[in-house]
A and B are shown apart, each in its own frame.
Chain A
Amino acid sequence: MSSLDRQLLSGDSAIALGALHGGVALGTGYPGTPSTEILEYLAQIGGKAQWSPNEKVALEVGIGVAYGGARSLVTMKHVGVNVAADPLFSVAHTGVVGALVLVSADDPGMASSQNEQDNRRYAVAAALPMLEPADSQEAYDFMLAAIEISERWHIPVLLRVTTRICHTQAPVVPAAPLPVKAPFFEHDLRGRNLIPANARPAHRRLRQKLAEMAEWSETTPLNYVLPGSQQLGIITSGVSFMHAREVASEASFLKLGFTHPLPLKKIAEFVRSVERCVVIEEGDPYLADAIRAAGLVVENKPEMYRFGELNTNRVKRILAHDVSPEPTRPPGKPPELCDGCSHHVVFQAFKNLDCIVAGDIGCYALGVLPPYSAMDCCVCMGSSIPIGLGLRHVLPKAEAKRVVSVIGDSTFVHSGMTGLAEMVYNPPPTGHVVVILDNSTTAMTGHQEHPGTGRTLDHSATGKIVYEKLGQAMGLEDVRVIPLGKDCAAFQSILVEALASEKLVLLIARRPCVLAAKHIREYEKCAPGTPATEVAHE
């Protein structure tokens, strides 16, 4: 099959193919459903892709790539953008030389996320242009368009997708690859050093770019009208367009692909051309609010449809003003820890000892479910250590001494190290106990490598963070590696000792994830580093 043939691709794979054909020099990111497969597929088809320890670092590497005149792709799930928000807002001000495309993969319905935030708001807040594809073909096309927009206005572009775009396979016909320029460096001290004297004009330049893009938005074919009946007009974007086309094929459509800055003149003209105009969008009323703020009269969906994904039934109901309770489906079976998963023994011990568990995000968050019910909170990645410390600072001594923080290895590298710094710097009177669940992989999102595994995205050997050395270097009083077996007694007795000691203790509970263990052994054979399995034999 030649590369220009029709291919069946998920939205994620289509974005990766677009990046490859768009001449992206480097893709960076941190795993997170539903964005993870973009970088994995980019590496598979011959692009250069790497996992960063977290999203902020991934974006900052991408900024460097784009300052060097090359094209960069940065991928993350919606909450990852919160982590990367600091550099994001500032790079909007500095602008870029090459291209910088940030993919935010949102998860309406929260199939595998901790919240339902709508990252279209980030385009407004950070003042970035935004594209929203409606299927795999557009995911591919818009990736290429994002590169062109980024280079034309020297600005980062937000490519905002959702779970249904990322994880739907549909045909894609690729286009001709974009010509690539050689990377180069040019000093621009004023442009890229955001001291206040430089940042003030930078903000004005940014607003000027947005004003130009707002004009361009009026004429770009990324925003188009599908003429139909004058009785009903629908303004829509993303996958909602597909649902709406299916149930109201007779309607007129204004399909928006470039959704920030919005083409308000085109929208006004469309609103005036129809008798009834309805905005069909998933999540927050981003379009509806902006259109109404411009003084136009459009119908917004009733509040009940803000929650969860849309589908054809829900769009029918919106069009029919139906706010009666929706039929519910019988609940499916929730996921549970795999048989033989190393997390079992740790949570059994927490349960046996009636610990107060400040938890974190990963497969082990399932420790909150029966039979363990042994996780008291789980807020965002990396929060386990600081929240545990906060609890220790205020609880009465007897309770404070039952508090443990538990964090996965990938999560620890992502955002756990600053928590350890806090622990050493502001130790609670009763000390504290942190457990790193070192299963040698980012299991939750499909077994990606990270800086603690000593292997790169494509599983070849590289430098490795060793938690026990790190803990010692940071000044923790007691650092222990505990190879986990099937029985929880050994781990439990060490935990009892640690809790009683009133010291700052780091326990590294080590055993590879059972689903990944076989692969890890194979990678180690091909690329011998420090074997993750060395201390895990029972």
Chain B
Amino acid sequence: MNKPINVVIAGLGGQGVIKASDILSETAFRSGLAVKKSEIHGMSQRGGSVTSDVRFGPEVLSPMVPPGEADFLVVLAPDQVEVNRSQLKPGGVLIAPDLVDSAKLANRKSFNIALLGALSTHLDLTVEKWQEAIHACLPEKLHAANEQAFAAGRQAANSLKS
């Protein structure tokens, strides 16, 4: 099957939705896969709903995750879960904001990366590629905090599974 993996990342403006989707698409890209990442952005003001679609696999055609066909839905803001739930396919995985306690992170702003850590436990992409992508997409001074957040997210997701 040539079907791509479909991920939707959702949250509010200023939370780092786009940065998270940049890192996910960069990871898939560095893994040699076809990838498309698409979002509607353009307003500078903070606070409005933002979603970003990332699709990767052997071949990707449409840049948009077909409605109701997301394999994974990653949500950064509690009030955005219900708004976006219909994006998930039956049996799809929701990575909800309550999975990680942002107070426990070295930097609260890395919450987006913590949820990517949780997502990473479900995907066939290596931790090395994730790390490369985090380094490529963020300034050096933020690397340590974001690696910590990524690891915290992985741990939270793994402890749920076991």
Contact = CB atoms under 8 A, between A and B. Distances in A.
Interface string A5-29: 0001000000000000000000000
Interface stretch (A83-91, A164-172, A200-208, A224-232): A164-172
Given A8-B26, A330-B83, A363 B42 contact: no
Interface in B1-47: 12-13, 22, 25-26, 29, 34-47
7 contacts: A111-B41, A164-B38, A170-B63, A242-B63, A334-B48, A335-B45, A446-B44
Contacts of A445: 42, 44
B64 interface: yes
Contact of A332 (B25, B34, B49, B61): B49
A515 interface: yes
Given A311-B67, A332-B49, A169 B44 contact: no
Interface residues of B, number: 35
Interface string B49-64: 1010000000011111
B140 interface: no
Given A34-B42, A333-B47, A334-B48, A168 B83 contact: no
Given A8-B29, A167-B40, A333-B47, 6 more contacts: A170-B37, A170-B63, A171-B34, A312-B64, A334-B48, A337-B45
The residue in B26, B37, B51 that gathers the most chain A C-beta atoms within 10 A of its C-beta is: B37
The residue in A111, A135, A164, A332 that gathers the most chain B C-beta atoms within 10 A of its C-beta is: A332
A338 interface: yes
Nearest to B83: A330
A333 B49 contact: yes
Nearest to B64: A311
A244 to B, nearest CB: 9
A444 B43 contact: yes
B25 A169 contact: yes
A169 B63 CA distance: 9
Given A164-B38, A164-B64, A243-B62, A336 B47 contact: yes
Interface of B: 12-13, 22, 25-26, 29, 34-49, 51, 60-64, 66-67, 79-80, 82-83, 86
B45 A336 contact: yes
A252 interface: no
Given A111-B40, A168-B38, A171-B35, A246 B62 contact: yes
A445 B44 CA distance: 6
A332 B83 contact: yes
Given A168-B63, A335-B47, A445-B42, A329 B35 contact: no
A239 interface: yes
A312 B62 contact: yes
A337 B48 CA distance: 10
The 7 A-B pairs with the shortest beta carbon distances in the complex, nearest first, are A332-B49, A335-B48, A33-B42, A112-B42, A168-B63, A168-B38, A246-B61
A255 B38 CA distance: 22
Nearest to B85: A330
A192 interface: no
A171 to B, nearest CB: 7
A313 interface: yes
Contacts of A443: 44-45
A217 B62 CA distance: 26
A170 B64 CA distance: 12
A435 interface: no
